[in-house]
Structure 1
Amino acid sequence: MFTSSHSAARRRALGAATAAALALTLVACGSSSESSMPGMDHGTKPSASSTPRVTPSTGGMPGMDHMADGSGLSDTEHGFRLTSRDMTLPAGGHAAYRFTVTGPDRKPVTDFAVDQTKRMHFYAIRADLTGFQHIHPTMAEGGAWTARPASLAPGSWRLFASFTPDSGAGRGRALVLSRTVTVPGAAARVPLPAAASTAETDGYTVAVKGKPMAGMAHPLIVTITRNGKPVAGLQPYLDSYAHLTAFHEGDTAFAHLHPQTKVNGDHGGPELSFHAELPKSGNWRLFLQFRTGGKLHTAALTLHVG
């Protein structure tokens, strides 16, 4: 009698253990990743409450510029895309680069906000960070833009379009998109000048003070002198006394450094303040544009970011 009762109790215990194991197995299966092929992420994932939601990039074909990273090194971001049929441009003369910006609805964008007096800022830079050009293209009816960069040397170039949509889902969002083109011919790579705090252009000396760190906001102070004397007669250019653009050595990542000095007639300088937030460490090539006596000047120098 004792033996029979003991066996029945043992069977009930085994049955309960089996049911518990089965329940745990079902729970584990229900909480596992849907992807379980070799090489896929099928490990334990944090709970949804502790993991930020990430929207995947819209594209991934090798060789395409679809991986947005906030540095302008993509032709697609937030559903907006820079499209063009021009894969090459001729060397020398004023080549015409035609492009369109399409929105999340895949239709050409035609409504752009005015930023620093322009609806579109267009930049051209060669892979070795030479040949910098800042252009303001024209838009035809229907959203087709034409930019005319001048004097392109043979080599690989990256072309940036900087703009802010003024309607639709992306209204007010500042975007920088880019594509690459090839200029046929024998390309002689120019070594990047060493990092320096000063540069000369058209008889002016531009000095930059500040040591920015990657990914951190940092002020940069620019001082302009001529023949050792402070220049205090800078004229407004694009709603500021100077326009400062930077490109990263190696990948030509883009950064626009925003001016903080208020404009007050033709009385800019000699000291100008900029808000700098350069996302990557390494060398950046800075291009400072300023106007005096109705003439636009461009100074270039290399800045090292830690």
Structure 2
Amino acid sequence: MSSSRLPRRLALAAAATAALLTAALTACGSSGMDHDMSGMNHGTTSAPASASATPGSEHSMPGMPGMDHSSTPGMEGSSGLSDNQAGYRLTTRDTTVPAGKQADYAFTITGPDGKQVTDFAVEQTKQMHSYAIRSDLTGFQHLHPTMATDGTWTAPLAALTPGTWRLYTSFTPNSGDGKGNSLVLSRTVTVDGAASTEQLPAASATAEVDGYTVTVKGSPMANMAHEMTVSIAKDGKPVTDLQPYLDTYAHLTAFHAGDLAFAHLHPETTVNGDHGGPDLTFHAEFPQSGDWRLFLQFQTAGQLHTAALTLKVS
């Protein structure tokens, strides 16, 4: 190699080294940005029903609460539309239920080890909450099943009308791999007979039930945490005699029109005796946009009331 070509070769090598160093530094910077922006996925389609959130994987941007799209409070990233999640599986005995009469719906929960789970944490006074809703979002039932010693649960379904129903189970394992993780699993059943579908009522901020007027205040957006207020009045006067129901003054459950995705809105109002109301605050986070059918349950004078309304989520 001639001495005149050596400096040129050295210069080219130095330039290449500098370019590689610049690229490496740029990659490191991009990696850090990806970490900070991991909660900024703006897809409006919910995650697959069997998906589960990984603890510690949420990274919302400072000043932008609720921008993490991987989970919904109490659901660990699940829309409740699968019978299995994080190794836990819902197994049922029946795929059909008779129409027009009370029926016992039996089911079991098996864990990642394949064994029936019998140790559940208590949430809002119950180890297991079950819900039933028909495909047109009618016939809502909130049930509290009982468990036998072998882990078999039985939910006493009130009479169902013909059609397709989805039955949900909401629970938190108290031991094992899923200890402390809230899960929602579901399966469908068919009620024989001629089904007549009801049209979903238009979106409205108010609903009437048993002489009470329920008003929802707030403009929730999909995959963003919002504070939502529910006010209850009777004969135009604010209600202040709400009684505790499941350790809260109101229980709020929502189902998405079309696919029946599930959302449980968590109460934030502190319970203090039999004089709750008129305003109740909820932590609201809906996994997708569209129409949601809300069912608000509250109790006065020992009577449970259930108000239903349609809420538009942007």
Q: TM-score of the superposition, structure 1-length normalised?
A: 0.78
CA-CA distance at 1:92 after TM superposition: 1.4
CA distance in 2, matches of 1:142, 1:169: 20
Pair 1:280-2:288 in alignment: yes
Structure 1 residue runs of 4 or more that deviate by more than 6 Å after TM superposition: none
Superposed, 1:1-306 pairs within 5 Å as 67-68=50-51, 70-306=78-314
Letter of the structure 1 residue corresponding to residue 230 of structure 2: V
Instruction: Please state whether the residue corresponding to 1:224 is helix, strand or coil.
Output: strand
- Displacement of 1:151 in angstroms is 1.7
State the distance in 1 between where 2:192 and 2:262 align: 24
- Measured on the aligned residues, the alpha-carbon RMSD in Å equals 1.5
The question of whether the paired residues in 1 share the 8 Å contact of 2:50 and 2:86 is answered with: no
Task: For 1:111, give the aligned amino acid.
Answer: D
Is contact 2:254–2:292 with CA below 8 Å preserved after alignment?
yes
- Is the 2:50–2:78 contact (alpha carbons within 8 Å) kept by the matching residues of 1? no
Q: Distance in 2 between matches of 1:219 and 1:155?
A: 35
CA distance in 2, matches of 1:243, 1:283: 19
Secondary structure at the aligned position of 1:148 is classed as strand
Q: 1:105 to 1:66 in 2, by over 3 A?
A: farther
Mapped partners of 1:267, 1:295: distance in 2: 14
Partner SS state of residue 299, structure 1:
strand
In 1, Cα distance between equivalents of 2:223 and 2:86? 21
1:255, distance to aligned residue in structure 2 (A): 0.2
Corresponding residue pairs, total: 245
SS in 2 for 1:286: strand
Kindly state the Cα deviation for residue 85 of structure 1 after the two structures are TM-superposed.
2.1
Asked if the contact 2:101–2:158 (Cα under 8 Å) also holds between the matched residues in 1, the reply is yes
Question: How far apart, CA to CA, are the structure 2 residues paired with 1:184 and 1:207?
Answer: 36
What's the secondary structure of 1:82's corresponding residue? strand
Q: For 1:291 and 1:269, how far apart are their aligned partners in 2?
A: 11
Larger Rg: 1
- Label 1:66 to 1:83 Cα distance change in 2 as closer, same or farther (>3 A): farther
Any unmatched runs of 5+ in structure 2? 1-30, 36-47, 52-76
Gaps of 5+ in 1: 1-46, 52-64
Task: Tell me, in whole angstroms, the C-alpha distance in 1 between the residues paired with 2:251 and 2:50.
Answer: 27
Q: Provide the rounded CA distance (Å) in 1 between the counterparts of 2:184 and 2:287.
A: 14
1:93 to partner: Cα distance: 1.5
CA distance in 1 between counterparts of 2:299 and 2:308 reads 15
Q: Which amino acid aligns with 2:270?
A: K
Distance 2:183 2:286 in 1: 16
